[in-house]
Amino acid sequence: MKVFPIKRCIPDILVAIFQALVDDEAAAVDPRCRMESIKRQVTATVSLVCKEWKEIVYNAPSLWILIAIDAHNYINNPSKTVLPSRLIQMGKGAPVDLFLFNFPVECPDAPVIDSLFTSVPNIRKLHVELVTTGPHVTSPPLLLSRPWTALRGLRELSYFVSSPHALEADLTAHLLAMPCLVSLWLNQPGFTVPYLDKSNHPSLPKLKGLTLHGSFVSGSHTAATMTPAFLSHCPALEALDLTIMDPHSPLPIEDPPLRNSHSLALTRLQKVKSSGTAALVPFISPEIKTPALSDLSLFNYTDTSTPSVAQLFTQNAQTLRTLFLSVTDDAHFQQAIAPLTHLTSLSLLATTGRGAFLAPLYEDHHSTLPSLRFLKVSMNRHALSATYFSKLVRARAIPVSVNPNAERRTVAEYCALENFVLVALNPPMVLKHVRETVEWKSAAILKPRACVFEMWWDVQPTT
């Protein structure tokens, strides 16, 4: 009888595989989600494969122990019956993902909060939805203003304020009690930390992923001033998400005040996402250095033609390999991307336009992005012009020769793209002109999906 290789894996190996799947699923959970959407779908799926896998899952509580409760009910219920005590007991001390929804910001009872955390042993991930009952919160929330010893082993933390009312809190003491934290997600500009002085220890020494969402351009807490303060506490940071609400509104760019005589070096930071250059001012100035930055995303199309973006690209030209830009036909970014001679992957999201934004990729032969190997173009509002499409794929994607080094070269002397992907939210409308072109008809459409077209061309020698 044939035995599949997966059947030969010992339980410990399978648990490690299942745990990786569970962790990926957990990482994809949006902190803005509702309580009823918190589920462990992966765990349920693998446990239904066979009897052996079901037993393995049952004996590995870290794969399934997830607690989501209404914190308001807990705080107002002296018996604490809302806690799933049996589930906690069955978990046998396994790491727990704890989701607290409807947590009242005005809760003044420290023993109750401490009891909540100590009742759930070994919390690995904590998500808290903070709610306010009034328009103004005069004092910092108790939850955020002090350390909690039960959270010392915490690895992932997210605070989501669901109400429109602003909250303010200095998180320094709160975060110092979480030395193992590797992921932090916040959506309030009033959640701050002071800029780290050389004589002090960072609050987040092991943090790898930092997300600051929300409108960080109101009041005294601007994106340009908050970013360096948080980053000064994150020497091991690898990924930074500065996605600001309302990304298509012009954002004021302010020079951050000089914090210290020394610049901040984030030697491990590789990935940065931002809706605008307002949050990236410290990266453009000498205040923050990113010698390993390789992946950059800009979601504000009004930024692509500003001199500051060109300066940012120039400063990181040697390390940048992946770039995402939101563009329109009016976004002139050719000069900005000119220094990126090592860029291998480019994604363009066209919010409006018919394809004129593609012209910078083929107008200057051999000089614009000579190392580009992957190109993704997404359009969702207008029909893509057949002219722009044809010129682009002839210059960048359709090979006409193969040189002695086995490189496929185009008629424009570029190395042919290894992967060209066209995403059309409404294919009949977006592609109605493109589908009639010779270039489209000669392409092999790989892995076609409803709105995604991955295209490939064989060598087509010129006649």
pLDDT digits (tens, 9 = 90+) for 375-406: 999 998 789 999 999 999 999 999 998 877 77
Distance of alpha carbon 339 from alpha carbon 313, whole angstroms:
7
Tally DSSP H helices, then E strands, for the chain. Answer: 15, 23
Fold for 294-463, please state it.
3.80.10
Q: What is the DSSP string of 39-80?
A: --HHHHHHHTT-HHHHHHHHT-GGGT-EEEEEHHHHHT-TT-
Q: Residue 237: what are its φ and ψ, rounded to 5°? A: -60, 135
Q: What is residue 371's predicted lDDT score, i.e. its pLDDT?
A: 93
pLDDT of residue 292: 95
Instruction: Quote the pLDDT of residue 246.
Output: 44
Return the pLDDT at 443: 93
Q: How far is CA 97 from CA 54, 111, 147, 231, 402, in A?
A: 21, 21, 19, 26, 53
Report the DSSP beta bridge partners of residue 455.
420, 445
Angle between helices 51-58 and 11-27 in degrees, nearest 10: 70
Q: Distance of CA 211 to CAs 29, 158, 253, 274, 419, Å?
A: 14, 9, 20, 10, 30
Distance between CA atoms of 282 and 280, rounded to whole angstroms?
Answer: 6
The DSSP symbol for 150 reads: G
The answer to whether residues 187 and 161 touch, using CB atoms and an 8 Å cutoff, is: yes
Between the CA of residue 242 and those of 50, 225, 246, 454, what are the distances in Å? 43, 13, 12, 30
164-185: buried (b, 16+ CB within 10 Å) or exposed (e) per residue? eebbbbebbebbbbbeebbbbb
Q: What integer pLDDT is reported at residue 93 of this predicted model?
A: 66
Q: Return the number of other C-beta atoms located less than 10 Å from residue 363's C-beta.
A: 13
Query: Rounded CA gap, 241 and 185, in Å?
Result: 9
Residues of the chain with pLDDT under 70: 1-4, 28-41, 43-44, 48, 61, 64, 77-93, 133-138, 163-166, 189, 198-199, 214-226, 244-262, 278, 301-305, 331, 365-366, 462-463
pLDDT for 97 equals: 84
Q: Where are any strands of DSSP class E within 223-292?
A: 239-242, 264-265, 271-274, 288-289
Q: Which two tokens stand for residue 271?
A: 């990935």
What per-residue confidence (pLDDT) applies to 254? 39
The confidence score (pLDDT) of residue 117 equals 83
Residue in 242, 33, 260 with CA at minimum distance from that of residue 128? 33
Q: Which residues contact 202 (CB under 8 A, 6 or more apart)?
A: 196, 232, 233, 234, 235
- pLDDT confidence of residue 260: 47
Would you state the pLDDT for residue 247? 42
**DSSP β-bridge partners for residue 410:** 399
Report the alpha-carbon distance of residue 376 to residue 363 in Å, rounded. Answer: 18
Check residue 51 and give its pLDDT. Answer: 77
Give the torsion through C-alpha atoms of 40, 46, 49, 54, to 10 deg: -80
Residue 358 near residue 388 (C-beta atoms within 8 A): yes
- What pLDDT is attached to residue 394? 94
Q: Where are the alpha helices (DSSP H) in 355-460?
A: 386-396, 427-430, 438-441
Tell me how crowded residue 400 is: count the other CB atoms within 10 A of its CB.
17
Is 149 strand, coil or helix?
helix
Alpha helices (H) along 182-306: 223-231, 281-284
In whole angstroms, what separates CA 29 from the centre of its chain? 12
In whole angstroms, give the CA distance from residue 161 to residue 40: 24
Alpha-carbon dihedral 119, 33, 322, 243, rounded to 10 degrees:
-100
| CA distance to 46, 189, 220, 314, 399, per residue, from 185 (Å) | 29, 12, 21, 30, 45
pLDDT of 250: 40
